[in-house]
Structure 1
Amino acid sequence: MGSQSPRAQSLPSFEKLFRQPSIHAALFEDKVFGHDDWNKHRSAAWRHRIEPTVFFRVAVGFAWQLGAVALVSGGVGVLHILLHGRDTFLSNSHLATPFSMITFALSLLLVFKTNSSYSRWWEGRIIWGQIVNFGRNYARQALMWFPTNRPDLRAAAVRWAAAAPRVLLAHLREDTEVIAEVRGILTAEEVDWLCGWSNGPLGAGTALGQLVVAAELPEQLEAEMQKQVELYTNCAGGCERIFKTPIPPAYARHTSRFLMLYVMTCPVLLWSSTGWLTPLVAVIIAFLLLGVENIGVQVEEPFHVLPLYDICRAIEANIKEMQTAFSGDGANGGRTRPNAADLAALALVVPNMAVNRRGDPAGRGAPKERRSSASAPVDTAPAPLAAVPPASTEIAVAATPPPPVVTDAMRGTTGTSATASTTGQASAVGRRSSVPSTEVT
């Protein structure tokens, strides 16, 4: 193979002239809003304030376009001097009608482009909101339902729930690598295994699903966790669809070239009314119109604009907090499983709450004495259940523990099974005795 031609060798350097500077692209990066940000955003004094530094950073992205408009404006001035004010095509009367026609058409193109880009940006944000829900739900369910005698599975599930969003982030951005994103989350063996996948999110989804299967959960719980894995893979597919399918390039390019032709011919129309102020006026008009078009272009691909790193860090913080709470090391003393007293209290409270909902769905209209009696322990309950203190009842309702049968399957110990079985029988007796008595009351 021979060497490349001089034209081919100089092409990359030529293309650099038309690439946006980093200081321009950074203006369009989003952030996660808080209360202070919203207060600032609602302030008219801040919104309408002109910031010279921001103006300059935006203008840098349109350097050659604005320079071309200024040159054309100067050329129109020179031509006007040479023609000595004769009635030529520079007259307003000759150009007003054509410009009014194309202005309307250009406005329609810009509005459609901006609205379409915003729809893509908002869809991308919705998808990443679902990613947040996936990370929280998968980690929470794994900490609740995975067997306590398999701490390795529980730890692996938590790691992959935190790593999966970062794997998707690296898949969508060109300046990130999977290894750099998950090195501090996954083990070295897991990172090596993940790097063997050409599609990182698909590998992460596979690992998440395999962990659920390895936990040997009851069928219903396994199906529930597999729904979270399916949600993650669906979100990854939605991101790929947005990333790989832009607004039809023919439409986008025609709009951009139409706009450039419009701002280049504006000086011809403006000269008769603005004179030598035409270069300044034309550059300002070009800056404003190019800015509208550029907003649509920047948000068309939302994943370099959305605050994905902040979202991933929020997911990791939530998962870490849940892990601390379920391990019992939290400030409030987290627990992984309900005890027998909690289950007994739950057997008393839940049927009575159900009867109260059937008698008064809205929780209103019934006498105060009746509502209070429906939520109190029933006197006809068996002796072991009636001995449960009220404080334990409140904890059981707040914790909403899983069914005793699920707990037995996870623990797999003879002593615990016997205790849960006794509790289940007592719960059944409590339900049979408490429901009729409450209905009579």
Structure 2
Amino acid sequence: MAAQPIPSIHRHPPKPTHVARCFPDPSKASSPAPAPSPSSTNRLLSLLSAVPDWADAVSERRIRDRRPLYTHVDWRDHRSSRRHLRHLLSSLSSRVILSLVPPVSAFTAFAAAIATYNTLLPAYALTASSLPYQLTAPALALLLVFRTEASYARFDEGRKAWMRVLAAAADLSGMVMRHTAAAQPHHPGTRALINYILAFPVALKCHIVSHSDIKNDLQGLLSEDDLNVVLRSKHRPRCIIEFISQSLYVLDFEENKRSIMESKLSCFLEGIGVCEQLIGIPIPLSYTRLTSRFLVLWHLTLPVILWDECKWIVIPATFISAASLFCIEEVGVLIEEPFPMLALDELCKQLHDSTQDVMSVQNLVRKRLVAKTKDQDSGSRRCSDNGWPSSKSEQAKID
């Protein structure tokens, strides 16, 4: 899906009411002279916002890419001694680095402006002592560390919530297959119930990840009528849970078995609650804003602090400092919303494939056991009641 450009307030034309108020009709002689046209200002602001808009659009498009599950080959590449060169060469395609283009380029340009000013006007050079930086550097380091740790804690909580949901779905589908294998193996509702169970993680994924196509994802799992009911629902994961709960009664399970299966639905409800909490409640905004403001003020004053000792080296020094510190902060912001970073599509597909494999293996094993039982019954009939063969010919066959 193509990424939609991030709207900019400078690109929208002014509302007609504002135009009428600010720019009266010049044809009226009694009206005051119109104010200068803001087109040049808007054009300048549009040019300044072009780079951030481009970086944000690329980042949003990359964040929608499907994340793969690691295989043995991926792990071998992950720990390869050539990984550093590979990561360096792929820097231009990194979402994190692309997000750093606007702030890092802005602070580097500001450092170049300060260096130019100090060189042209040495008598009025902007310089200051480095003691304040030495005192505040530990505070900035603690802010970044706490910000990143809090974001990773949210990422880990989201991952564990999804693992519990997938484990409950696999457990519940296995219980349904085992309990209906002997009693009602060909009941039409059995297959539908298993599909409802497999549809729940997909519906939850679409509920918490933006720009998800739930209709396309559930097309092969639910019938057309069931899918329409789910699409009309305001809370689609809970609608799937209702399908599962009602199906347990339709299949007429025993009371104790149905109670055990319904207890698994509590894991689904818990997963919904954890995921909605992570989406709706970010890290306290005051903490995020404090970290951002601290970083901005730090790098705005960095060229002034370093000028006496570094001179024109303040430009690469500011670039390296901004790229390093803003990169750490960007990673914290990126993993604060954990679900786009997880391979949810692949996890749902893995659950579906493993369930299909269990069903096929279950049918094959049942047929083998039934055939083996028939062979054993036919063999036992050839023997006498005390277990010994009833004739010499049968004794010879056994030997």
Q: Does the 8 A contact of 2:114 with 2:126 survive in 1?
A: no
Structure 2: how far apart are the matches of 1:101 and 1:134?
Answer: 51
1:35 aligns with 2:35: no
| Match in the other structure for 1:375 | none
Match for residue 267 of structure 1 among 288, 303, 321: 303
Please give the alpha-carbon distance, in whole angstroms, between the structure 1 residues aligned to 2:386 and 2:246. 41
In 1, distance between residues paired with 2:353 and 2:75?
23
Match of 1:102 in 2: 136
User: Does residue 67 of structure 1 match 2:109?
Assistant: no
Aligned: 1:252 with 2:283: no
Which letter does structure 1 place at the counterpart of 2:317? Answer: V
1:89, 1:95 within 8 Å by CA — same for their partners in 2?
no
Q: Who is 1:51 aligned against?
A: 88
> How far 1:15 moved relative to its partner?
7.3
Secondary structure, aligned partner of 2:68 = coil
One of 256, 264, 269 as aligned partner of 1:220: 256
How far apart, CA to CA, are the structure 1 residues paired with 2:340 and 2:85?
A: 26
Provide the residue aligned with 2:26 in structure 1.
Answer: none
Q: Is the 8 A contact 1:117 1:296 kept in 2?
A: yes
**Pairs within 5 Å for 1:85-234:** 89-90=126-127, 94-146=128-180, 147-148=183-184, 151-234=187-270
Cα distance between partner residues in 2 of 1:276 and 1:211 = 73
Alignment of 1:341-360 (within 5 A): none
1:394 matched residue in structure 2: none
Letter in 2 for 1:45: R
Deviation of residue 150 (structure 1)?
5.3
C-alpha contact 1:120 1:302 (8 A) present in aligned 2:
yes
Aligned equivalents of 1:214, 1:337: Cα separation in 2:
30
Matches of 1:184 and 1:315, distance apart in 2: 14
Unaligned runs of at least 5 residues, structure 2:
1-14, 20-37, 377-383, 389-399
Taking structure 2 as the reference length, the TM-score comes to 0.75
Shift of 1:49: 5.4
Equivalent residues, number: 336
- State the distance in 1 between where 2:360 and 2:184 align: 15
Q: Does the 8 A contact of 2:151 with 2:336 survive in 1?
A: yes
Shift of residue 126, structure 1, vs aligned partner? 0.6
Q: 1:335 aligns with which of 366, 382, 388?
A: 366
Deviations 1:76-99 (A, max 9, x none): 11221233267x651xxx421111
Residues 284 and 223 of structure 1, relative CA distance in 2, 3 Å threshold? same
CA distance in structure 1 between the partners assigned to 2:227 and 2:234 by the alignment: 13
Letter matched to residue 224 of structure 1 = I
CA deviation after TM superposition for structure 1 residue 202, in Å:
0.6
Q: What residue in structure 1 maps to residue 359 of structure 2?
A: 323
Q: Distance in 1 between matches of 2:118 and 2:292?
A: 29
Higher relative contact order, structure no. (Cα contacts within 8 Å, ≥ 6 residues apart):
2
SS of match in other structure, 2:69? coil
Distance 1:125 1:42, change over 3 A: same
Q: Could you tell me how far apart the structure 2 residues matched to 1:16 and 1:189 are?
A: 46
What SS does the corresponding residue of 1:198 show, helix, strand or coil?
coil
Letter in 2 for 1:35: H
User: Hey, what's the Cα distance between the residues in 2 that align with 1:385 and 1:3?
Assistant: 104
Secondary structure at 1:95's aligned position in 2? coil
- C-alpha distance in 1, partners of 2:371/2:262? 29
How far off is 1:337 after superposition?
A: 11
3-state SS of 2:283 partner: coil
Counterpart position of 1:21: 56
Indicate if the aligned counterparts of 1:69 and 1:286 stay in contact, CA closer than 8 A: yes
> TM-score of the superposition, structure 1-length normalised?
0.69
Q: Given that residues 63 and 340 in structure 2 are in contact (C-alpha distance below 8 angstroms), is that contact kept between their aligned partners in structure 1? A: no
Q: Is 1:303 the counterpart of 2:339 in the alignment?
A: yes
Q: Alignment identity in percent?
A: 22
Deviates more, 1:15-24 or 1:193-202: 15-24
Q: Tell me the CA shift for residue 149 of structure 1.
A: 5.8
Provide the rounded CA distance (Å) in 1 between the counterparts of 2:219 and 2:250: 24
What are structure 1's unaligned runs of at least 5 residues?
A: 346-382, 388-441
Which of 262, 273, 276 is the aligned partner of 1:240?
276
How much does 1:386 deviate? 8.9
Of the structure 1 ranges 173-182 and 310-319, higher mean CA displacement relative to structure 2 is found in: 173-182
Output the CA distance in 2 between the equivalents of 1:385 and 1:54.
80
Q: State the Cα distance separating 1:189 from its structure 2 match.
A: 0.7
